[in-house]
Amino acid sequence: DASVGDAQKEGRFQHFYQVIQQECDQERPSDCTIVSVDKEQREYATVVGNRLQDHGLVVEMIHLASESGLPEALQEVRDDGSPLIVLIDHHMPLEDALVLEAKEYRRFFAKREQQEHTGISLRAGDLVADFLARECLTSYCVPSGVQHLLFLLNEGRHLYKNELNLLIDYLKTRKGQLEGLEMPNPLSRSAHSSFQGKNTPVMGKPPPLLPTPRKRSFPGPPPPGSCQVPFD
């Protein structure tokens, strides 16, 4: 039935979309980095950071001992990719600072969301096409123990040496069974690039210095005109 097939295809697309969306959320730098240059500004900087987090931003804070380290700190923030930098200045009232920050973030957020949605949709579509192309191939059952290890691997959990050896042995066995029986998959290159996305470092970067609120999650392609941004 065509409707059933379309529903299954849409379900696969939504699944891959969510997986890639979560990957993007994990790799995304802080929305805003707050920089203070002396001890007297730290309390005020924390107040600003908490107010921004109340609006859903992921905030990181950098406290410098003196202004001499400011150029290097600002360059590090730019290199990390954080879109907004707040340099604490007592001469600007808090509410004025928040209004200015809201305006800049709203402009950036709308642009970023559209770019991410387009990129994620393309990658999810590639993965769906790869999945459907394999339906005509022979399927097989994976032992439950191997399934569990693959689940742990996918979740980034620790695997012991003997468990890794078990996975390697299983994959070697599967490879041996297929030797000379199939042609190279023409979709493999695009599929692998879709799975990999950006190069993910082995070690993650340090967490934000303020408690991190729950990031926004887009379970699927948002309908046109439904984009919501902080600071309504």
- Rounded to an integer, what distance in angstroms lies between the CA atom of residue 25 and that of residue 7? 27
Q: Which domain holds residue 75?
A: 2-138+182-196
Whether 123 is in a domain gets the answer: yes
Amino acid letter for position 157: R
Q: pLDDT below 50 — which residues of the chain?
A: 187-232
Phi, psi of 35 (to 5 degrees): -120, 125
- Rounded to an integer, what distance in angstroms lies between the CA atom of residue 8 and that of residue 14? 10
Whether 133 is in a domain gets the answer: yes
List, in sequence order, every residue forming a beta bridge with 33; answer none if it has no partner: 60, 85
Neighbours of 27 (CB within 10 A): 15
Q: Kindly report the pTM of this predicted structure.
A: 0.56
pLDDT in tens, 188-220: 444 444 444 444 333 334 444 444 444 433 333
Tokens (6 digits) for 108: 């950036």
**In this predicted structure, what is the pLDDT of residue 17?**
93
The continuous run of DSSP H or E covering 62 comes out as strand 59-63
Whether 177 is in a domain gets the answer: no
CATH number of the domain at 50, please: 3.40.50.800
Whether 171 is in a domain gets the answer: no
Whether 147 is in a domain gets the answer: no
Whether 101 is in a domain gets the answer: yes
Please state the domain count of the chain.
1
The SS3 call for residue 222 is coil
The SS3 call for residue 209 is coil
